[in-house]
Structure 1
Amino acid sequence: MKVILKIVVVAAALWAATQLVDGITVNADTTAMRIGTLLAVALIFGIVNAVLKPIIKTVGCAFYVLTLGLFALVVNAGLLLLTSWLAGKLDVPFHVSGFVAAFWGAIIVAIISWVLNMILGDD
């Protein structure tokens, strides 16, 4: 149940990013297809974060320290771009147009996910 709630939270954050950032799009025809696409992308994003983020944090530890954690914004943007690329390979109609869109989208996804997790509880 906890995993499903996390996926729904990330899907809601991705929806907000599609509404607020010009370069992030979901090309689905119906509302049901948009919701399904956002849930699929949230699942892909969760898998990408679970697999790659610990490796990147370990390897890039010095960059995190030197930039006082701001390097995490660049990493999150890269992971969102990777998610977009994987979604394209899986024929999921989700696209991030470039690094700037991914950067702002990653910030929005992080903030909204954090707020929703605070409201809904993280345990």
Structure 2
Amino acid sequence: MKWLAHIIVNAVLLLALAGYFQSIHLSGVGAALLASFLLSLLNMVVKPILIVLTLPVTVLTFGLFLFVINALTLLMTSWLMGDSFTIDGFGAALLASLAISLFHVIIDAISDRD
């Protein structure tokens, strides 16, 4: 149940980011839900592999390289979605990953308070 709530929150965040950034395009709510689902799958499967492969760089940057990995998973999601979800460049993906991470920290802090 928590995973489904996480997908819905990510979909809302992606819709908000698409409305805020001109370099992120979503074709609708269904595309946001599908992109959120694919992003969750990539975060479960591909992200741990990328973290292990880039562990020395991640340690040297004190974990900041994880934002780059998050941006790469967003770009992979965009690539898998085709025209219904596009991100125009790595910089936009990096900003989006920073925003998503920030919102998740806030959401986790609020949900832990209950």
Q: Normalising by the residue count of structure 1, what TM-score does the alignment of the two structures yield?
A: 0.83
Q: 1:101 — aligned with what?
A: 92
Cα drift, residue 39 of structure 1: 0.9
Asked whether 1:38 is paired with 2:32, we answer yes
Of structures 1 and 2, the one with the larger relative CO (CA 8 A, separation 6+) is 1
Q: 1:58 aligns with which of 52, 56, 64?
A: 52
RMSD: 1.4
For structure 2, the residue ranges without an aligned partner over 5 or more in a row are none
Asked whether 1:24 is paired with 2:24, we answer yes
Cα drift, residue 120 of structure 1: 3.7
Asked whether 1:80 is paired with 2:71, we answer no
Stretches of 4+ aligned residues off by more than 3 angstroms: none
Distance 1:52 1:43 in 2: 14
What secondary structure is seen at the aligned counterpart in 2 of 1:22?
coil
CA offsets 1:8-61 (integer angstroms, 9 cap, x no match) = 11112212221222210112xxxxxx2221111100000011101111111111
What secondary structure is seen at the aligned counterpart in 1 of 2:25?
strand
Q: 1:118 aligns with which of 84, 87, 109?
A: 109
Q: Give the AA of the match of 2:24.
A: I
Distance 1:21 1:117 in 2: 24
Percent sequence identity is: 34
Q: Normalising by the residue count of structure 2, what TM-score does the alignment of the two structures yield?
A: 0.89
Q: Which has the higher helix share?
A: 2
Distance 2:52 2:72 in 1: 16
